[in-house]
Amino acid sequence: MSKSIGSVEVITGSMFCGKTDEMIRRLRRATIAKQKVQVFKPAIDIRYEHDKVVSHAGNQFDAVPINSSEDIRQNLADDTTVVAIDEAQFIDEGIVDLVNELADKGLRVIVGGLDLDFRGEPFGSMPVLISQAEEVSKLHAICMVCGKDASRTQRLVNGEPARYDDPVVIVGADELYEARCRECHQVPGK
């Protein structure tokens, strides 16, 4: 009998493009199919619920908050067949090896996260995960300036675009960020 090979699915794009909604949709389908699902999220993401992934639209799914990729390994149940990891850009580089290890063991791994930081540059381990995935879904939001498809996340400080040398990681939602297209995205000092 041949070994079951899993897969890696990455859901990516700017903030407000529906990444978490799409992840939750896939997780609900897996649950309906009676697959054992486990969801993990970075503990630093405290925007909504501590122990749930929550979309900006209000959809939610139970999740285990983690501080490192090793926490996923420690909390993974033996009978799990689907692993979802939200906001993967915030997780240490060990996430790449772990995701591939899980897929090689036959698990379906769904990874959600920003592909670009507020500067418009590759974010965390997401570029590697995207390149190694069997399936990549890049979603688009609506540009808050012109209404075109948005592929960037604009950070705002007092209503103005954040400067290039500002910290990369500041967790927030619509009070700090908005979706922008390439043309409307601004990074002073870049």
How many Å apart are CA 125 and CA 141, to the nearest integer? Answer: 22
Distance CA 103, CA 5 (A): 7
Amino acid code (one letter) for 20: T
d(CA 72, CA 54): 19
**Residue 121 known to be catalytic:** no
Q: Which residue reads 């939610």 in tokens?
A: 60
The 8-class DSSP code of residue 45 comes to: -
φ/ψ of 43, rounded to 5, equals: -60, -25
Contact 20, 55 (CB under 8 A): yes
Instruction: Please name which of 161, 156, 99 lies closest in space to residue 124, comparing C-alpha atoms.
Output: 99
CA-to-CA dists, residue 72 to 7, 69, 104, 152, angstroms? 17, 5, 16, 29
Residue in 9, 22, 87, 178 annotated catalytic: 87
Q: Which residues are identified as catalytic? A: 87
